[in-house]
């Protein structure tokens, strides 16, 4: 049980550099493994999810060394992975599982993927079915893990239309497509984060997105070469402090080296649309764009988000709910049914936890409606991550608005993406409230 910091008199102040991006850390490891020669990842995220990927790749015969946030991978090429004697334990990591499914489907050996209780309830047919159209043979257990992958020669995907707006599914198909004999084309439902495409091209692959933003063509059998990659700060981690600074009076913070890939900056747009006080300065970068984000406290207006808005803010929707809970009016979030398939059913867990603050939030099948006009009336001072890192951190941010002392159960879930979260939060608090 973690005691949460209540309202700091001066708000949040200071400058912070958040840890490396989770999505890019996973992909950097995988692409390093299937390239020839050495890859170095700097500012790698040493959180539980990414460490699951790292260990799985070691089990597949890849020599990987990690010194804190620097990782060195001795890549063995597209056909250099070897069978693991043991099942690959993907822990809590949905991204790692789905991307690995695509990567392992085209190998010459079989693999078995298992995960923790939460991951074992998440849908895997969303990768099994599209990969099957490329000739992959993947056995699931009632649509879930354990997953047994029979390594097979794959066929190209021929204008395959993705059924869900999911970067994980898209990336699984891309990682399968590079193993096919001819070029593949896949069509996204809506544009989603494009880290796989960018990184594959940086390693020497050829993945092109058409002007429609949704049609992706993947050239087969690329000769990938190891690279030196600096992982930008994770926008999804910065988002917790952007939200905290917006809703805690008196705040003024700077977040440096934050990844600003346009497929990930939905929360910046949301804050701007809500009347938040946000300034973005782009920095020089190679590959993924990055920059500095300055956020000051502001009075917020309500917002309406629909399906088209969701992919760029998918992991920040708990924070959008929290922002809306302080806004002067009613916000409507719709088209977000994908939230039900995250580490928890996030529509349910967001509603449960925000109701503990007395927030007027109503669950909808595909989102929620929030009236931010009433004062919060704390109903219960014990919050719960429900084993979901982003729900735990959202409630730690919410606590910063309260004058009462509150606690968080199952706080260890935060290690999934942000082991340093409470230390970084303390860094932005005035000395007298640190280590509260």
* Residue 366 marked as a ligand binder: no
Q: 314 vs 393, which CB is nearer to ligand S3P? A: 314
CB of 264 to ligand S3P, least distance (A): 10
Q: How far is the CB of 171 from ligand S3P (least distance, A)?
A: 6
Q: Is 168 annotated among the ligand-binding residues? A: yes
Asked if 384 is an active-site residue, the reply is: no
Beta carbon of residue 193, minimum distance to ligand S3P (angstroms, whole number): 6
Minimum distance, C-beta of residue 196 to ligand S3P, in the bound complex (Å): 7
DSSP for 81-148 reads: ----SS-EE-TT-HHHHHHHHHHHHTSSS-EEEE--TTGGGS--HHHHHHHHTTT-EEEEETTEEEEE
Which residue's CB is nearer to ligand S3P, number 95 or number 251?
A: 95
Minimum Å distance from CB 49 to ligand S3P?
9
Tokens of 356: 């503990």
SS3 annotation, the chain: CEEECCCCCCCCEEEEECCECHHHHHHHHHHHHCCEEEEEEECCCCCHHHHHHHHHHHHCCCEEEEECCEEEEEEECCCCCCCCCCCEECCCCHHHHHHHHHHHHCCCCCEEEECCCCHHHCCCHHHHHHHHCCCCEEEEECCEEEEEEECCCCCCCCCEECCCCCHHHHHHHHHHHCCCCCCEEEECCCCCCCHHHHHHHHCCCCEEECCCCCEEEECCCCCCECCEEECCECHHHHHHHHHHHHHCCCCEEEEEEEECCCCCCHHHHHHHHCCCEEEEEEECCCCCCEEEEEEECCCCCCCEECHHHCHHHHHHHHHHHHHHCCCCCEEEECCCHHHHHCCCCHHHHHHHHHHCCCCEEEEECCEEEEECCCCCCCCCCEEECCCCHHHHHHHHHHHCCCCCCEEEECHHHHHHCCCCHHHHHHHCCCHHHCCC
Q: Minimum Å distance from CB 137 to ligand S3P?
A: 23
84 assigned binding-site residue: no
- Annotated ligand binding at 122? The verdict is yes
Rounded CA-CA distance 311/416 in Å is 21
27 annotated ligand-binding residue: yes
Closest to ligand S3P by CB, 34 or 167: 167
* Shortest CB 347 distance to ligand S3P, Å: 14
244, 400 Cβ separation under 8 angstroms = yes
When the beta carbons of 128 and 168 are compared against ligand S3P, the nearer one is 168
Burial status of residue 430 (CB atoms within 10 A of its CB: 0-12, 13-18, 19 or more): middle
Q: Whose Cβ is closer to ligand S3P: residue 149's or residue 312's?
A: 312
Residue 343 or residue 424: which is nearer to ligand S3P going by CB? Answer: 343
Q: Is 76 annotated as a binding residue?
A: no
Q: Residues interacting with ligand S3P, by CB under 6 A?
A: 23, 95, 166-168, 171, 193, 314-315, 338
309 labeled part of a ligand binding site: no
Q: Is 6 part of any known ligand binding site? A: no
Question: Is 254 assigned a ligand-binding role in the annotation?
Answer: no
How far is residue 390's CA from residue 21's CA, in Å, rounded to a whole number?
Answer: 14
Q: How far is the CB of 276 from ligand S3P (least distance, A)?
A: 22
* CA torsion through residues 100, 106, 108, 113, sign: positive
Q: Given the complex with ligand S3P, which of 168 and 251 has the nearer CB atom?
A: 168
- The answer to whether the annotation marks 98 as part of a ligand binding site is no
Set 48, 116, 315, 384: catalytic member: 315
Q: Which residue, 196 or 406, is less far from ligand S3P as judged by CB?
A: 196
Binding-site residue positions: 22-23, 27, 94, 122, 166, 168, 315, 342, 346, 390
Q: Which residues make up each annotated binding site for 3-phosphoshikimate?
A: 22-23, 27, 166, 168, 315, 342
Binding residues for phosphoenolpyruvate: 22, 94, 122, 168, 346, 390
- For the annotated catalytic residues, the residue numbers are 315
């Amino acid at each position: 049980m973690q005691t949460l910091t209540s309202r700091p008199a001066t708000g949040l102040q200071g400058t912070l550099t958040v840890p490396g991006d989770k999505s890019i850390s996973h992909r950097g490891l995988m692409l390093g493994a299937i390239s020839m020669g050495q890859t170095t990842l700097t500012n790698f995220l040493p959180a539980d999810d990414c460490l699951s990927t790292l260990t799985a790749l070691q089990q597949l015969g890849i020599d990987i060394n990690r010194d804190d946030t620097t990782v060195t991978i001795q890549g063995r090429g597209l056909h250099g992975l070897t069978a693991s004697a043991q099942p690959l334990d993907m822990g809590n990591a949905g991204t790692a599982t789905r991307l690995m499914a695509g990567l392992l489907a085209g190998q010459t050996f079989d693999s078995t993927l298992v995960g923790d209780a939460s991951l074992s309830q998440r849908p895997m047919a969303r990768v099994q079915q599209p990969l099957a159209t490329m000739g992959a043979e993947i056995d699931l257990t009632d649509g879930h893990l354990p997953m047994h992958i029979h390594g097979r020669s794959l066929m190209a995907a021929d204008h395959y239309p993705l059924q869900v707006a999911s970067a994980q599914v898209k990336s699984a198909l891309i990682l399968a497509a590079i193993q096919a004999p001819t070029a593949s084309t896949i069509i996204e439902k809506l544009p989603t984060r494009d880290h796989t495409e960018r990184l594959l091209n940086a390693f020497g692959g050829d993945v092109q997105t058409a002007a429609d933003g949704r049609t992706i063509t993947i050239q087969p059998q690329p000769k990938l070469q190891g690279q030196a990659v600096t992982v930008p700060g994770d926008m999804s981690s910065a988002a917790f402090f952007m939200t905290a600074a917006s809703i805690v009076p008196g705040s003024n913070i700077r977040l440096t080296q934050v990844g600003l890939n346009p497929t990930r900056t939905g929360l910046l747009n949301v804050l701007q649309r809500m009347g938040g006080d946000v300034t973005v300065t782009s920095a020089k970068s190679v590959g993924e764009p990055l920059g500095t984000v300055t956020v000051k406290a502001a009075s917020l207006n309500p917002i309406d988000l629909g399906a088209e808005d969701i992919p760029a803010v998918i992991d920040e929707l708990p924070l959008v709910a929290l922002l809306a809970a302080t806004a002067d009016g009613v916000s409507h979030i719709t088209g977000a049914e994908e939230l039900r398939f995250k580490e928890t059913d996030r529509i349910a867990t967001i509603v449960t936890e925000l109701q503990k603050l007395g927030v007027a939030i109503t669950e909808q099948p595909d989102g929620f409606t929030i009236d931010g006009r009433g004062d919060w009336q704390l109903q219960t001072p014990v919050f719960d991550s429900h084993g979901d890192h982003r729900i735990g951190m959202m409630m730690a941010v919410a606590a910063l608005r309260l004058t009462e002392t509150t606690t968080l159960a199952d706080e260890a879930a935060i290690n999934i993406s942000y082991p340093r979260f409470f230390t970084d939060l303390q860094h932005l608090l005035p000395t007298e409230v640190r280590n509260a």
